[in-house]
Structure 1
Amino acid sequence: MTVSQDPSAPLVVLVGITGLQGGSVARALISSDKPYRLRGLTRDASKPAAQAFAAQGVEIVSVSLTVDNAVNVRKAFEGADIAFVVTNFNEHMDKQREISEGKMLVDTAKALGVKHLIWSGLESLSTLSGGKYSRVGFFDAKSEVTEYAKSSGVPLSVVEAGYYATNIFEAPYALKKQPDGSYVFGLPIPATTQIPIIDVAHDYGLYVRATIENPALGPGSEVLSGKPISFGDIVAKLSEVSGKKITYLELDREAFIEATGMSDYGPMLSDMFEAFGFPDYGGKEIASESLLARKPRSWADFLTATPAHDLFQ
């Protein structure tokens, strides 16, 4: 239940420890009954989240994970037995940069002989849709890095995050307050469209921990996270728990793009949501909860654990 300082304990390097995914992985490993030395990478070691992990015994290293800083990235990974790596497309919105930085992390892990690389990947929506939905750069970029990592020969697990539960409230283009105080939740897909939803901060780390500790997984595994639920049920449960009137509205593509107020970003968002009409993860099986150290939250659990005044700000 604590971070080990024993040099015989495996050293796990965690990219983005102050982010939702990296922080979740850190907490999941800290709560394990198995010993780990943890090294968290962040650009800003002074962040409160970084300092909180440091107080628990995590080694915090400040490093920029860019291609032009590859020498220092390699130093930050030195000695790692296991590494969890993730890239952040939203920081730069550049598909080629996302691919280059992801490949750099793979190359670093391979060069240093990391025994188990865990990559936060995504499916290619371009491939799933036969090229119809080709604007979602961060999905396609992560998928390209996945294929690169597989071909590199590095001992690899891919752990895909489902749809963030918090996204429902961080999408002002979808959840809109009406003059009468009610809400409309509008997307360019039918209410029956399902997604695998996950409380990332609370549960994503469980899936990464399982790839490390569960004998059924390990290098070579692909772990898909989340609990399937339709957008209609998401809205219905949100209305029930919050006590607010919320109506799901299926928009056509043009109306949705106009609602985003972003002529450049809107088409990408529409492609992403429309591609959700394909089966979750392209029909691949979501990881069984029996593989995890504890049961992850459902959408209803997430809402119950999150006060309504925090959801509707």
Structure 2
Amino acid sequence: METRTLTQAPALGSLYARAAAQAAQDALTRRRRPTTLPERRIEVEGLTIDPAVVGRWREVVGPADPTHLPSVLVHTQVFGTAMALMAAPDFPLPLPGMVHLSNSVQHHRPVPAGEPLTVAAEALGLVPHHAGTAVDVAVRVERAAGAGAEAALLWEGSSRYLAKGVWLTGERPERPVREEFVPAAPTAQWTFGAGAGRAYAGVSGDWNPIHLSGPSATLFGMKGAIAHGMLLAARMLDGREPAEAGVGWDIEFEAPVVLPARVAVRYERDPAVTQVTGWDATRGRRHFRGGIRPLT
């Protein structure tokens, strides 16, 4: 596998712009993208998370301590490494309009701001989906060795993204039968304003047009601007991450949260895992399912 090593994290805004320009050029020239994943790994050595981002996170999302950053804040700051992989011209799926389907994270040790990290991203495989083709992308965050410290795995996550209308695997699975959802009494309610997508993009750097405005979202088949999946994950984890890390969590998205919105939420805890469900209280449609558990 080819490894490309970078000295700094790519800027998400420029990656989105580059990917959008490539998609437009492909449409004009009718260029066909490759049908297989490049055997490539992207690494960033010496990446540091700017402590200034912590203040912006507090304003937009919720509490954050620079000595042990929230899991989703870590995701936003290392996401550019995965984006550099997906924005490449030889990546088989177009980045603009790609939809986040699920995420699974193991947060092993605290990730502090301001300290050098090594971040690596690679695509694990293409996944057939009834609406197109999905891809699994894994990211690892390690403490960089040096100054008497040994390298150590701090955080690792896998995300699945869907390119709607693109079929590359030769399979077109049937749309799964939607199971009946009967919500129990909510234990919380989240409110998101019409500008929640733009506000979160400002702190996370995720400027995917499906989150920014009604017109830009409808260009990619959405009914309106939708909330970032990782914003929902951050809300799910708020106040439930131990300061010493050692937490695993996952979230699977079913129906997008079209902004503005109110999301009914229920937390159900047992000794092994806290199950979390979010839904549209008016329509009774589930938005996501998730789980939070300690790592042993």
Q: Structures share a fold, TM > 0.5?
A: no
TM-score, normalised by the number of residues in structure 2: 0.29
Larger radius of gyration: 1
Answer 1 or 2: which has greater helix percent.
1
Answer 1 or 2: which has greater strand percent.
2
TM-score, normalised by the number of residues in structure 1: 0.27
